Structure 1
């Protein structure tokens, strides 16, 4: 057995054990390289049915062992006829499990089952009206003429034997197809995106009516099973938690404390890249209000020294991740011993940190690394801790629900996401003490004004970025040469995609005036109006 197959078998075996602990009803999503495969998983979970994303190389036998209620094939950037295009195990069509192909997944289904796919005369991108030809099962309660989101250059010319037409658009004759007898379905559009107005109804139809799932994936069920899994894995060992004060690590702290109590030690390492006044507030909250002991470690100078002269963002993340672990190791010797290091890693962290996925035999490429997260891609190879990441398969909104259910206060539940490397990756270029002080003061003003104007809960994130350039300005009839501050305020549901927030002009004006007047070293403020994609939320 080659290395790639061995690793895949081990991965699926681990996923199988994890999934059985969490729920018996599973919808498996095979990923063909789409950056939005996780959105499909999220939409399925919104029906309170658990879903998990696996590689398209997962074999039919491995899928059978997971005993899923249904399978969804994701979209992808390839054409089914491209050299090296990703293909799934053709045996999955004979598993007797309902399958739905989305975009590329539909085209692959058609090709492998004897139909014909070719380059469309006219591609279809963006919104399109879907005209329903068969309103049974998959398209029940989906109104004809409803808007669906298209993004494809290939189209189905000939359906495989046994398939029927469910819907079409003006440019796509086969927009939805089905083999009702074998419960095989294909849609050329993307029901998972918010632009598809009937997408939610379609997914519910597939999950509930076709796959016959029940809504058992609930917050209470997750907490119960997570606590059971933590106890089973940790036993009587001790766990060290990397506490940052955000909703992820705070929820994890509450969850771990619920599961293992005094076996947990929370350590907050102040690396010097936190927002203004946050370290003090965090320690006070946990010690005085939550009564969960926290070991405070002041490592500000150590981290700043380690980043001296470093400008590359990936190198910053690597160094910060490395230093985090080293500090933990050193401090754990004083407090320990500890067997496990707990981290609040989430699904988007894992996805965005995925290295280019290349099959060693075929050279097939699936996903591309966007950026490393310090707790995913920056860990040293000689890590002496065993990692425990109970939130690794959750989206941010799911973590918030878990946090509320176990008593986390709204102050933390609603806290905007904050990157592990902190302000170090919101300063482009070299990180210095002077630049950190400037950014802290500017960032505080942004948060104050967003809060005071009642916009905090309407935004996914609102923060400031410092650019390592200077421009000419005039203040008090004198020439200035100072830094610009970039305002980054976005709306999002899960961080996978985002749009810039339409903040009222008068609020932006107040933020700008306050920053240039109150923050020494800044003479210009600009607003980033780039969505994700093509940009990312963070600048580095």
Structure 2
């Protein structure tokens, strides 16, 4: 992250983000420019081995200094022969650490070790049949023929000296190889995607049978180790947590409370951008589940005044982030006065702010060298330069499913842990156009209808997230009550996902979609059209803004 965009480096990084204890193995995923690097890291964690991502520009000695048990080279969009294409330093393979190459990482490994990579004209994209010629250790006990997910133009046509070629396809003569003496292996396809048959087994063959990793990392580890780290960091200082009502901030707050008890005060800022009934639900449910001290700040006028006339989504997010911090700072001053009996003693200062930032937030906000800034998240890209708090972001390196596991480990109620994700900027980024009271009221009613119908259909657990979007600056002609209308369209965006890095649209029953459409157009007079978004991520994001 650059200081100019995200504030000073001191404030841009978390004061306490989860890192594993020394007795857990670490796998480093080297990012060669594909978002699949995040998915690889998640699949490694599914195998109960902790993983982190580093950019391909990181020097080898810096990577090895982290003492990884194994290194995985991710895919990427470049050709190994293209000018300026990222290359693998050959020192990566002589440091005594097992290495696994995937797609571009496989080709870069072959190229660096003296194999042959060529543009054969046989590009492969999507499902491809793989023929196994030698199972070796990497493909042991797997089928002779598998359907795998390919995405490449160049191909490895000769394995490096000392390597055994294990499999091939019509477009990739060498699609997998291994050198067990050096603990090196690689595959041309993407084992991390669900479309690849036996993909997780291939990854685990490398992790356990080639690299010798131990599956010791669990949600319980995160809780135990973070509680100890937070206690040491905070000492006797007071902490505030920005509670939005979503899963992430709830779990972050509960985790910090487990560590420091009544030194924590949660601050719920009602920014006026919440869904129908949500503010009341937050006040009741979270306090009942945790017993935490909760301060409620009604800042709806402040936020709506700041957002007046703003249509650019990036400006919306940054404005909301800045207003959040302003609200927190004011709340902190009030908390200090209350805890010090009005003296405002320095000993009673609030030094830390807890946020529920997740790994996908950081990645999509350009949080790392070489990462594309897809969109700023209010709690990553919206922090001001003069932030008065040190940040505690205990979930910053976790994916959403891992956060839910931590929430269950902390004993939070299932309804809170498994509620659909809701963005911190709230309905402001589900209104395409300027935000005002009238537009918020329209969207709240439509969203409430959708949520009620999905719950009634028993599909809450089958849908990852269901954004309802108001196209505020778009109108279309309709007929309602035998008269012409000129109303807004509402977009339904139900998606299924495991980690928010990739997603597919949810195939809902036509009868349910029909009921939702009918109830919205009959019950929300400003809306005369309901449409369904059928786009996966990528190429789209889950939210429209």
TM-score of Structure 1 vs Structure 2, range by shorter chain: over 0.9
Which position in structure 1 is the counterpart of 2:238?
A: 238
**Alpha-carbon distance, 1:477 to partner:** 1.1
Structure 2 residues not aligned, in runs of 5+: 4-9, 337-348
Which position in structure 1 is the counterpart of 2:404?
A: 400
- Larger RCO of the pair (alpha carbons < 8 Å, separation 6+): 2
Which position in structure 2 is the counterpart of 1:428?
A: 432
Which position in structure 1 is the counterpart of 2:366?
A: 354
Residue by residue, what CA displacement relative to the aligned partner does 1:338-375 show, whole Å, maximum 9, x if unpaired? Answer: 11111010011111111694xxxxxxxx3311100000
Residue by residue, what CA displacement relative to the aligned partner does 1:459-481 show, whole Å, maximum 9, x if unpaired? Answer: 01113100021111111111111
Q: Which of these residues, 510, 513, 521, is aligned with residue 518 of structure 2? A: 513
The whole-number CA distance in structure 1 between the counterparts of 2:502 and 2:535 is 11
- For the structure 1 residues 228 and 162, does the alpha-carbon distance in structure 2 shift closer, same or farther, using more than 3 Å as the test? same
Residue correspondences, number: 523
- For the structure 1 residues 260 and 65, does the alpha-carbon distance in structure 2 shift closer, same or farther, using more than 3 Å as the test? same
The whole-number CA distance in structure 1 between the counterparts of 2:524 and 2:503 is 29
- For the structure 1 residues 474 and 340, does the alpha-carbon distance in structure 2 shift closer, same or farther, using more than 3 Å as the test? same
Secondary structure (helix, strand or coil) at the match of 1:139 reads coil
Q: Which of these residues, 404, 417, 422, is aligned with residue 421 of structure 2? A: 417
The whole-number CA distance in structure 1 between the counterparts of 2:368 and 2:223 is 33
**Alpha-carbon distance, 1:17 to partner:** 10
Which position in structure 1 is the counterpart of 2:304?
A: 304
Which position in structure 1 is the counterpart of 2:385?
A: 381
The whole-number CA distance in structure 2 between the counterparts of 1:498 and 1:14 is 27
The whole-number CA distance in structure 2 between the counterparts of 1:390 and 1:459 is 26
The whole-number CA distance in structure 2 between the counterparts of 1:236 and 1:89 is 46
Secondary structure (helix, strand or coil) at the match of 1:484 reads strand
- For the structure 1 residues 18 and 324, does the alpha-carbon distance in structure 2 shift closer, same or farther, using more than 3 Å as the test? closer
Q: Does 1:523 align with 2:523?
A: no
- For the structure 1 residues 517 and 501, does the alpha-carbon distance in structure 2 shift closer, same or farther, using more than 3 Å as the test? same
**Alpha-carbon distance, 1:15 to partner:** 12
**Alpha-carbon distance, 1:89 to partner:** 3.1
5 Å-filtered alignment, 1:161-200, equals 161-200=161-200
Secondary structure (helix, strand or coil) at the match of 2:274 reads coil
Assess if the C-alpha contact under 8 Å between 1:57 and 1:88 holds in 2.
Answer: no
Residue by residue, what CA displacement relative to the aligned partner does 1:495-535 show, whole Å, maximum 9, x if unpaired? Answer: 11111111111100100010011112111111111111111
What's the TM-score, normalizing by structure 2?
0.93
- For the structure 1 residues 129 and 136, does the alpha-carbon distance in structure 2 shift closer, same or farther, using more than 3 Å as the test? same
Secondary structure (helix, strand or coil) at the match of 1:339 reads strand
Once superposed, what is the RMSD of the aligned Cα atoms? 1.9
The whole-number CA distance in structure 2 between the counterparts of 1:19 and 1:445 is 41
**Alpha-carbon distance, 1:289 to partner:** 4.5
**Alpha-carbon distance, 1:491 to partner:** 0.8
With 384-393 and 288-297 compared, the bigger mean Cα shift is at 288-297
Structure 1 residues not aligned, in runs of 5+: 4-9, 358-365
What's the TM-score, normalizing by structure 1?
0.94
- For the structure 1 residues 249 and 237, does the alpha-carbon distance in structure 2 shift closer, same or farther, using more than 3 Å as the test? same
Runs of 4+ in 1 over 4 A off after TM superposition: 13-18
Which position in structure 2 is the counterpart of 1:537?
A: 542
The whole-number CA distance in structure 1 between the counterparts of 2:416 and 2:146 is 39
